[in-house]
Chains A and B, each alone.
Chain A
Amino acid sequence: MPAPAALGPETQHLLRDLAPQVLGVIVRRYRDLAASEDAVQEALIAAAAQWPREGIPDSPRAWLVQVASRRIADHVRAEAARRHREQLVVSLVPADEQIALGADGAGANERDDTLDLLFMCCHPALSPASAIALTLRAVGGLTTAEIARAFLVPEATMGQRISRAKQTVDGARAGLALPAGAELGARLANVTHVLYLIFNEGYTSSSGTELVRTDLSGEALRLTRMLRRLVPDDAEVAGLLALMLLTDARRAARTGAAGEIIPLDQQDRTLWDREAIAEGVALVTETLPRRELGPYQLQAAVAAVHDEAATAAATDWPQILALYGVLLKMSDNPMVALNHAIATAMVDGPGAGLERLDALAGDPRLAGQHRVDAVRGHLLERAGDRAGAVAAYRRAAERTASVAERSYLLLQAARLADSGG
């Protein structure tokens, strides 16, 4: 996304919001993601050059659609000419659409186009890493360089990943009709999963030394808000937005001055973002009782219980335990089971939590997972088994792939060992 100095923040914002809509229209017409994206990029560059000089057009979206259409029509014509020379008379685009495309009307299909684009970028044929990159590029409007920086990979690598993802999507796409009914739900689940991964990548960066990469979380929030506007009746999308808001609200309190992790029960709650919490809680309150329950809503409800507690001691653990109980029945997820064990310990004592943990230890999906040992260390400490806790924290420290988390776990072990374990 070009952003020269002459472009005011409002125009930049406008262009970013419009980019996925315009791309959705163009892809729908021309059925070629790679070529459409190039055309939209050119249109955006043209806008960035022209608008500061000549003013923003009355219908910026129609302007962009028209310019992008012209570019891609040129491209298709050139391509068609080439093919013609090769005795091939197949063109991707119906002849009547190749000439003089009118600007798109008053945004009749705006919603469908953007949604369609999201479905495409989060196509099940893509690996999560590819879907994330493509979504940030095509829907989020981030540059390849920005995405590469966020994921700490060379720009050339990210460029390659994105262009291969486009090829996969163009190859795997079966028609452009928006899915309906159960199919729509399944495709939406792909989209929410990708957005959730982007948020998490920003929130608990999985590599590197910085714990929080703000840009990705903010971007995931922006895209989820957009998705919620597109499907306002979907309770899980609302749940995901609430979960992100309620989690992100704690960001300022989550790390210390030197970047060290501060666990939930030791955070300075005055640093929590009250506005985000209020918005998240309102979403949960509005959605939970009325619609079909889903994992994001339940996780958001748990986050809401934490965020609404004035102190760590005031946390309503029985309610959290009940919520994890429902979640556990809904999905066979070992991480949910781990959280359920923690909640059990908070309600029924560390012994009960450790029993739960032992029952989980055989799950092959948790084999070698540092989280199990981190939780065990925490519960053993609460149970008064200092030596056992030190050993568990150290085991967890050796296994985590996060530098910040390793530091945290080593310090936990050392704190206990110092105190005479």
Chain B
Amino acid sequence: MKYMLMMHSPGKGPYQIASWPQQDIARHIQFMRSFATKLGQAGELVGAEGLGGPDQARLVRAGGDGRPVTDGVFPESKEFLVGYWIVEVGSPERAFQIAAEASAAPGIGGKPLNMGIEVRQVMSAPPTDGP
């Protein structure tokens, strides 16, 4: 079964990480890199992407003529999606375990961030033999 693990960052301004000391940023980046490598080597990583910053995010709707009407920037949003992993695992417990590991990514002074990681199951194809 596949799960999407979504990492959110507090909103209101630029990336939280941008104001950290250099050493802490480097440690955080190193953690994220080896986290992805480890999941890949374990054969559990399906995909992972980092997303662009919130000041480039736009909310789009179709206007009356079907053309895009865009809205943004959103400086007031409480939090925004920074990136996600999709993992394929044998049980929801394993997905939670991976999410907890990501949650404990090092922050300032190497202290675990314990950020919230949203875990959602990815819907799959129906079983081949229906009732």
**What's the interface size class on B, roughly?**
20 to 34
What's the Cα separation between A32 and B48 when bound, in Å? 40
Verify if B50 is at the interface (C-beta below 8 Å from A).
Answer: yes
What residue of chain B has the Cβ atom nearest to residue A415's Cβ? B22
Q: Let me know if A142 is at the binding interface, CB within 8 A.
A: no
A398 touches B21 (CB 8 A): no
**Quick one: which of B22, B48, B52 contacts A414, CB cutoff 8 A?**
B22
The answer to whether A259 has its CB under 8 Å from any CB of chain B is yes
Instruction: State the CA gap A26–B76 with chains docked (Å).
Output: 61
Q: With A and B bound together, what is the CA distance between A62 and B110 in angstroms?
A: 66
* B42 close to A (CB within 8 Å): no
Chain B, residue nearest A401 (CB): B52
Contacts of A368 in B (CB 8 A): 56
Is A240 interfacial (CB-CB < 8 Å)?
no
How long is the Cα–Cα vector from A260 to B25 in the complex, in angstroms?
Answer: 13
Q: Is the pair B25, A410 in contact by a Cβ cutoff of 8 Å?
A: yes
Q: Is the CB of B25 within 8 A of A398?
A: no
Asked if A398 meets B22 with Cβ closer than 8 Å, knowing A209-B36, A258-B33, the reply is no
B5 → chain A, closest Cβ, in Å? 16
Does any Cβ of B come within 8 Å of A407's Cβ? yes
> Residue A398 contacts which of B14, B20, B23, B30 (CB distance < 8 angstroms)?
B14
CB distance A397 to B56 under 8 Å? Answer: no
B17, B23, B30, B36: the one contacting A410 at CB < 8 Å is B17
Question: A379-401: which residues lie under 8 A (CB-CB) from chain B?
Answer: 394, 397-399, 401
Q: Considering the chains assembled together, what is the distance between the CA atoms of A415 and B23 in angstroms?
A: 8
Known: A398-B53, A399-B53, A399-B56. A411 touches B33 (CB 8 A): no
- Check A411–B52 contact: CB distance below 8 A: no
Question: Which residue of chain A has the shortest Cβ distance to B26 in the bound complex?
Answer: A411
> How far apart are B28's CB and chain A's nearest CB, in angstroms?
9
Closest Cβ of chain A to B11, distance in Å, is 13
**CB of A405, distance to nearest CB on chain B (Å):** 11
Q: Which residues of chain A are near B25, meaning CB under 8 Å?
A: 407, 410-411, 414
| Any B CB within 8 A of the CB of A418 | yes
Q: Does A301 reach chain B (CB closer than 8 Å)?
A: no
- Residue B29 at the chain A interface, CB threshold 8 Å: yes
A399: chain B residues at CB < 8 Å are: 52-53, 55-56
Choose from B18, B20, B21, B30 the contact partner of A397 (Cβ within 8 Å): B18
Name B22-71 residues within 8 Å CB distance of A. 22-26, 29-30, 33, 36, 48, 50, 52-53, 55-56
B106–chain A nearest beta-carbon distance, Å: 14
> A407 CA to B22 CA in the complex, in Å?
10
Contact: B14 with A394, CB < 8 Å? yes
Residues in B with CB closer than 8 Å to A414 are 18, 20-22, 24-25
A-B contact count (CB 8 A): 52
Q: Which residue on B lies nearest to A368, using beta carbons?
A: B56
Give the size range of A's interface with the partner. 20 to 34
Q: A224 CA to B116 CA in the complex, in Å? A: 49
- Does residue A403 face the partner (Cβ distance < 8 Å to B)? yes
Given A209-B33, A394-B14, A398-B15, A411:B22 Cβ within 8 A: yes
Partner of A258, one of B18, B30, B52: B30
User: Is residue A375 contacting chain B, with contact meaning CB distance below 8 A?
Assistant: no
User: Which of A259, A260, A410, A415 meets B18, CB within 8 Å?
Assistant: A410
- A413 contacts the other chain (CB 8 A): yes
In Å, the complex CA distance between A229 and B23 comes to: 50
Q: Which residues of chain A have C-beta atoms less than 8 A from B53's C-beta?
A: 398-399
Bound-complex Cα distance A417 to B21 (A): 8
The distance from the CB of A194 to the nearest CB of chain B, in whole angstroms, is 26
Chain A min CB distance to B40 (Å): 10
State the Cβ distance, B23 to closest chain A Cβ, in Å: 8
With a cutoff of 8 Å between Cβ atoms, the chain A residues found around residue B30 in the complex are 258
Query: Which of A259, A398, A413 is packed against the most chain B CB atoms within 10 Å?
Result: A398
Contact status A259-B33, CB under 8 Å: yes
Find residues 139-185 in chain A having any chain B CB closer than 8 Å to their own CB: none
The closest CB in chain B to the CB of A406 belongs to B50
| Shortest Cβ gap from B91 to chain A (Å) | 26
List 6 interface pairs A-B (beta carbons < 8 Å), by A numbering: A398-B55, A399-B55, A410-B18, A410-B29, A411-B22, A417-B22
Q: Nearest 7 A-B pairs (CB), nearest first?
A: A414-B22, A398-B53, A415-B22, A407-B29, A394-B18, A403-B50, A414-B25
User: Which A residues form the contact surface with B (CB < 8 A)?
Assistant: 209, 258-260, 368, 394, 397-399, 401, 403, 406-407, 410-411, 413-415, 417-418
Chain B contacts to A: CB under 8 angstroms: 14-15, 17-26, 29-30, 33, 36, 48, 50, 52-53, 55-56
Since A410-B18, A410-B25, A418-B23 are in contact, a sample of 15 more A-B pairs with Cβ atoms closer than 8 Å, ordered by chain A residue number, is A209-B33, A209-B50, A394-B18, A397-B15, A398-B14, A398-B18, A398-B55, A399-B53, A401-B52, A407-B29, A410-B15, A411-B25, A414-B18, A414-B20, A415-B22
